Amino acid sequence: MSEMRKDLQRVHEYHERLIGLIKMLESAPAEEQNPVQINFLKIMIDYNENIIDAAENHKPLVCTWYGNAQEILAGMGIKYYNPVFDLMFHLDLTDYKDAKECDRFPLDDKICSLVRYAVYSVYEQLHPKPDCFLAMMEPCDGQLMLHQAFQANEGWKNVPCFAIDPSYGHTDEDFKYVAKQLKEMITFLKKATGAKYEFEKVRDLVEETNQQYEVWKEVNELKQARPCPIGSFITDDVFWALTQHLPCGDPRATALMIAVRDMLKGAVAAGKGAVEHEQIRILWPDLSPLWGQKLGKWLEEEWNAVVVMSFQGNTPYEKIDTSTEESMLFGLARRAVFEVPMIRQGRGWVDVMIDDVTDIINTYSINCVIDGGHMGHKDQSGSKYFLRKVCRDMDVPLLGLTTSLFDERYTSLDQLKKEISNFLSAAGFKRAKNM
């Protein structure tokens, strides 16, 4: 048997770990099994198998990011991966082994850990070499440096790169400008991968994702109920992965999202929530942190609190008109630069962030806002004054933190618990045991 390629070793490791995890979950009594969790992991397994197959059998393979109109890639039959998705998913399963290895990587530790992990993973050959990669030019200038680092790496220096130039405004003319570039991206992908583009196939994928985003909106409407029918960050995390990282437009993902929606419908109808005596409804104005569910469980138990919404869970998505290629690409362009979280709030005018925070506070009956303070993200840091002003004007308490959304060691969970407890006490809320 020939020795396994170094750039596929890690993908095989991820694959085997997931299989072991599913076996463990399926060995539990039927009444204790979580079918949503199991089916999500099965989609992840297929995703890893497709990456391995593409790499071993010279099929089209692309490295890309969220917000890069993945419907086009999937519709062209191209397999693709995000350079940090698997790594981040497996951190907690491996006692943060890669995070500790990354500590020794020669890159400033004040840079956002998303950027650090991505550069580390490419330089350590944790991914198969792609036919090309699609850059993400927003939401921070760290992304520019990241892709320059990719191109400087010995193993990737000859890998073609395509980068969309995001418009600054939010008008139809801005979206037409980006849509024109999506056409150029299609030409680039055809040349770099040999894959064919057929409007009808991409259209079918877009129609499927239209349905997914509609279901997500329905879920968020159910989360307006008090008590909130599901715990902190859960739908934000799962639906984000299904729509942005795992193979785009998969009907199994749609079915999984519908199952969650129907489960929440039942909970709302029965008046049941993640916290029986819900006291505090929190907005987290950023992406969900990788360690969010640990924090969420503590908030529920200690404070009868739920993070009801984050920017990652918010759904400003408009249905894309698929009647013509032009209208479809326009919709994909709008989605890429004006609807996908963090890119939406970090690109262009600060009014978008102000409007989002205001709308979420009103819509979800938010009692307080906890700003994670995304370490290394200048756009996020630059908007703090405006966030404070919105919360002050709306008389909603705000806690500002500094954390790494992707590395729980940067600000320990124990430290966060202390700071959040002091904040909630000062705001007049009572611990669960004192209610």
Summarised one tens digit per residue, pLDDT across range 222-239 is 999 999 999 999 999 999
Q: Which two tokens stand for residue 375?
A: 């370490």
Sheet holding 132-135, edge to edge: 79-81, 61-63, 132-135, 161-163
- Strand pairing category for 79-81 and 132-135: unpaired
> Residue 239 pairs with which residues in a beta bridge?
none
Interatomic CA distance for residues 430 and 379, integer angstroms: 34
Q: Report pLDDT for 139.
A: 66
Rounded distance, CA 137 to CA 73, Å?
18
Q: How many Cβ atoms are within 10 Å of 12's Cβ, its own excluded? A: 14
Interatomic CA distance for residues 12 and 20, integer angstroms: 12
Q: Is the pLDDT confidence value at 324 over 90?
A: yes
Are the beta carbons of 119 and 107 closer than 8 angstroms? Answer: yes
Tell me the pLDDT band of 111, cut-offs 50, 70 and 90.
Answer: confident
The span from the CA of 38 to the CA of 256, in Å, is 10
| Percent of the chain scoring above 70 in pLDDT | 99
pLDDT band at 1 (very low <50, low <70, confident <90, very high): very low
Q: Residue 433: is its pLDDT beyond 90?
A: no
- Which tens digit of pLDDT belongs to each residue from 388-423? 999 999 999 999 999 998 999 999 999 999 999 999
Determine the Cα–Cα distance for residues 296 and 60; give it in Å rounded to an integer. Answer: 40
Structure tokens at 419: 């700071």
* pLDDT one-digit tens code per residue, 175-225: 999 999 999 999 999 999 999 999 999 999 999 999 999 999 999 999 999
Mean pLDDT of the chain: 93
> CA 92, CA 261: separation in Å to the nearest integer?
27
Please state whether the predicted TM-score (pTM) of the whole model is above 0.85: yes
Q: Are 140 and 383 in contact (CB under 8 A)?
A: no
Q: Which helix (H) or strand (E) holds 236?
A: helix 234-244
Q: How far apart are CA 407 and CA 66, in angstroms?
A: 19
* CA 319 to the chain's CA centroid: 20
In the predicted structure, residue 434 carries a pLDDT above the cut 90: no
**379, pLDDT greater than 80:** no
- Of the ranges 109-118, 311-320, 334-343, 376-385, which is most confident? 311-320
Section 121-140 average pLDDT: 90
Could you give the percent of the chain with pLDDT greater than 90?
82
- Between helix 35-56 and helix 251-269 the angle, nearest 10°, is 170
Q: How much is the pLDDT for 3?
A: 63
| Residue in the block written with tokens 């979580």 | 34
pLDDT at 343: 86
pLDDT at 167 over 90: no
Structural domains of the chain ordered from first start? 6-196 (3.40.50.11890)
